[in-house]
Structure 1
Amino acid sequence: MEVLKNAIHFVLDLGAPVFVPLIMIIVGLIVRMKFRDAFSSALTLGLAFIGMNMVVGFMMDSISPAAQAFVKNSGINLNAIDGGWTPMSTLAWAWPLAFLMFPVQIIINLLMLAFKQTNTLNVDLWNVWGKIFTAVLVIGVSGNIPLAFLIAAIQVVLELKMGDVNQKQIQKLTQIPGVTCTHGMTLFNVFLYPINRLLDYIPFLNKHIDANWLKQRIGIFAENHVMGFIIGVLIGTFAQYPPQKILILGVQGAAALTLFPMVARLFMEALAPLSDSISEYMKRKYSDRQLYIGLDWPFMAGCNELWVAMIIWVPITLLWAVILPGNNILPFGGIINLSLAVPALIVTGGNLLRMIVLGVLTTPVFLYVATYFAPTITNLAKDTHVINIKDGQFLSWSSIELPDFRYIFAQASNIVHGEFLGLVLAIGWLGLFYWYYKGMQKRANQLSTELDGTSHHMSL
């Protein structure tokens, strides 16, 4: 057991830019790619991950200090530190039973493929820490380890089902066939879907307004670099920066929005040969199914709507943090809310205006759930001695992924203490998931005809 644990930690220490490409080389060789082609595609994928991490880090290093200055100028005292996702993953891996989540995810995926309950092979094993984090939060609420693994297993199943039903929409957005997103953040789609359906009945919001639509109507002001500059200047102004720093932040914003689609092209370059090889291999083996490769979100980073929405949400998030009664977290490490942007992109089909509206309406969910879990996360940090936290302060994550799922199912685990409200909420959430799944199935069927005429499918 100790040997297995050490082996897993060795692989994890490689990081996603090395770990995921290694898996892709193995998959490529299984489907009879030439080693040189599999290696080249995998190395390009690793470069894409590194590049995306660099650009995201650059943007966060630019915007986060401005966001903190904005809150400081407001005079509000918020004593929960927003560490972002990095310390959360560190705390997750500090759990002594963390390594057992690997076989849980892999076995569930293989069984669902064998019994035709999914068409998605999730190779994003790096983000197994998300299931571990869910389990840790459940234990923090109820103290029940078996229920923690059960709820994490439910998350694994739902991520695969999300990968299936979202694939056509994701393919339309990215133009990359045979690939889907199996990151847990997509479960927030369940919460966003009913709101998005309500927006269908608002005349102005039932139009599809994306980055291309804006470019046709406002010209240069909708170009990535110009939008990035304008948004950066506005954020610097809100932070009460001096003129020089405002202009610098504007140029940094312009650079970030210009670089994102450039880096995203590397994902297309890396994944296209593998997609084609898997498609040909599966056509020779089967004729009645489709197989999708489940990946982390960065291959979707070429969608400009993603970045425009997230940067616009920065001042909105800060405003909510200041005015929400009961909020205790100062947005910092999680100020760039990918946990909201990726689900909103999928649910709206890339409708930028709707994405912004959804962000305005649902950002409080993230802040309140982050505030709720702050004592649990802080106690975990103190118990494991992984992160030092001063007395009187708390640690949390302002853009905590799948906040509704984690909060509701953690509450459901309190059934061991005779509390049933959480279980009722969990059943209701699963009902909404079923509604979402059926709705996206219908959308996928409509998109299939369009996509069949423009790209290859990965068929089994």
Structure 2
Amino acid sequence: MDFAAASQWINGFLSSVGAAVFVPIIMIIMGLIVRMKPKDAISAGILLGVAFTGMSMLISYMGNIIQPVGEAMLKNLGIDLPILDGGWTTMAAIAWSWPYAILMFPLMIIVNIIMLVGNKTDTFNADLWNVWGKIFTAVGVVGLTGNVLLAFVIAAIQIVFELKTADLFKDEIYELTGIPGVTCTHKMVFLSAIYYPIDKLLRKIPALNHKADAEALHDKIGIFAENHVLGFILGCLFGLLGGYDPGALLTLGIQCAMCLTLFPVISKYFMEALSPISEAVSDYMHGKFEGRTLVVGLDWPFLGGSNEIWITIILSIPLTVLYAFILPDNKILPFAGIVNIALVVPAYLVTKGNLPRMIILSVIGIPIFLLVGTAFAPFVSQLALSTGAVAKDALGASGLISNSSIDGPWFTYAFSQFLDCMNGNFIPLGMLIVWLAGYFYMYRDMKKVAAKKAESEATEPAAE
């Protein structure tokens, strides 16, 4: 088999259909395997595609109206940053250009099956679309060491961590979304290993340790917490910061109001599509794995109905611009990644939707994205040019491109570059140690909390 040609074909196919087609196909096949009626499986799969498309359209629309604001703010501040922000699509194009990319599919499936059979995970990862995230980590290892085998070993370790993290947050995700039988296997959740210890400290502050989600905010400030009103206020604020004239400012306000109003609406379609599939998978797997409740691992968009996520994302935009200006070692101009979902989703899960703590964690997290994006720029630029993912004349005078919103930036940089210590660069190795320490602290602490909760629920009937 010509692996390079196969990988190129897969890249072309995925680029032409996207997650809105690829993921529903996987879910329909899964539904048929677990003996759903064909009409029910197909209906649920198509509705899931509708939900993905609706969420993608809203995010794209939001990006199109918000990015010019960030650009105007940067221009008003007179910022000149040489590294072009190519967004996640540049990273994906580089990943799929790797000759061995096709082998990541069987690796991901085999590791998942081994862990399921060995009772090491309760998650079946159906998010094959984001296999490119593992490929990019592997490409980073190859770029540094030239060792393909080692690259697949590191990718396998990432797959294991994705499954274990999905297991860790599955109950919390159900509490937050109300969607049964699903969890998130996206590597953006890896930033929770950095956020969690910080959030534990924030919980010790009385003012921050109470219910403070969008619903609680609504109870306190009434109409000003309504999605459409809050969106309008935030949109007008950003128009003001961007130097917009009154007409453009009010238009931006209405556009932002529309986005915040429709995100929860689209999220309901994820619930409607995923519920019958997840229930069928659960029933089928219960017969195969008696005594265990298995869940389906998915990409992040089914979490997109959270108002807290979008409020924090919008508030993070001027903060990102400010950091880009004042952060001494930052050289990347945040543009394509300025609507940074990977910054906020792990904060949402760690805080259980506590808006003030989400904002604080995002303030802490923004520099991580900018600095990792800057550090990756020489490596990414070389790969982008060598693979043809980006034309040389598109890179500008600096010849550098990267991404200001790399998913799981701390993990990605540390795990793909830690062997650079052999060349005298110990920063990635230090980041690896910090991430592992944060992850195992989070894992142990969340397991303890879950055990106490289960024990409390078990004793409640007896107490009655």
**Aligned to 1:405, which of 390, 408, 411?**
411
Find the residue that maps to 1:58 and give its secondary structure: helix
Mapping 1:120-131, distance limit 5 Å: 120-131=123-134
Look up the match of 1:94: 97
1:289 aligns with 2:289: no
The amino acid of 2:412's aligned partner reads R
The amino acid of 1:124's aligned partner reads D
1:210 Cα deviation after fit: 0.3
1:208 Cα deviation after fit: 2.2
Query: 1 CA distance for matches of 2:37 and 2:401?
Result: 48
Q: What do the CA deviations read for 1:97-133 (whole angstroms, capped 9, x no partner)?
A: 2112111111111111111111100000000011111
* Residues 195, 347 of structure 2: 8 Å contact kept: yes
The 3 A distance-change label for structure 1 pair 184 and 356 is same
Look up the match of 2:349: 346
1:325 aligns with 2:331: no
Query: 2 CA distance for matches of 1:256 and 1:19?
Result: 25
Find the residue that maps to 2:296 and give its secondary structure: strand
**Aligned to 2:307, which of 268, 282, 304?**
304
* Residues 228, 258 of structure 2: 8 Å contact kept: yes
Mapping 1:181-330, distance limit 5 Å: 181-330=184-333
Find the residue that maps to 1:326 and give its secondary structure: coil
The 3 A distance-change label for structure 1 pair 55 and 445 is farther
Find the residue that maps to 2:124 and give its secondary structure: strand
Report percent identity of matched pairs: 50
* Residues 142, 410 of structure 1: 8 Å contact kept: no
Look up the match of 2:57: 54
* Residues 48, 264 of structure 1: 8 Å contact kept: yes
1:138 Cα deviation after fit: 2.8
1:354 Cα deviation after fit: 0.4
Query: 2 CA distance for matches of 1:171 and 1:447?
Result: 15
Look up the match of 1:355: 358
Q: When the two structures are superposed, what TM-score results if normalisation uses the length of structure 1?
A: 0.94
1:223 Cα deviation after fit: 0.7
The 3 A distance-change label for structure 1 pair 168 and 449 is farther
Query: 1 CA distance for matches of 2:455 and 2:64?
Result: 43
Look up the match of 1:117: 120
Query: 1 CA distance for matches of 2:230 and 2:312?
Result: 11
The amino acid of 2:173's aligned partner reads I
Find the residue that maps to 1:329 and give its secondary structure: coil
* Residues 82, 332 of structure 2: 8 Å contact kept: yes
1:394 aligns with 2:397: no
Q: When the two structures are superposed, what TM-score results if normalisation uses the length of structure 2?
A: 0.93
* Structure 2 gap segments, 5+ residues each: 459-464
1:429 aligns with 2:435: yes
Find the residue that maps to 1:20 and give its secondary structure: helix
Look up the match of 2:461: none
Look up the match of 1:457: none
Find the residue that maps to 2:250 and give its secondary structure: helix
Q: What do the CA deviations read for 1:25-78 (whole angstroms, capped 9, x no partner)?
A: 111112111000000000000111110100000000000011001001101101
The 3 A distance-change label for structure 1 pair 46 and 232 is same
Find the residue that maps to 1:294 and give its secondary structure: strand
Mapping 1:70-149, distance limit 5 Å: 70-149=73-152
Mapping 1:12-31, distance limit 5 Å: 12=14, 13-31=16-34
Query: 1 CA distance for matches of 2:121 and 2:206?
Result: 37
Find the residue that maps to 2:138 and give its secondary structure: helix
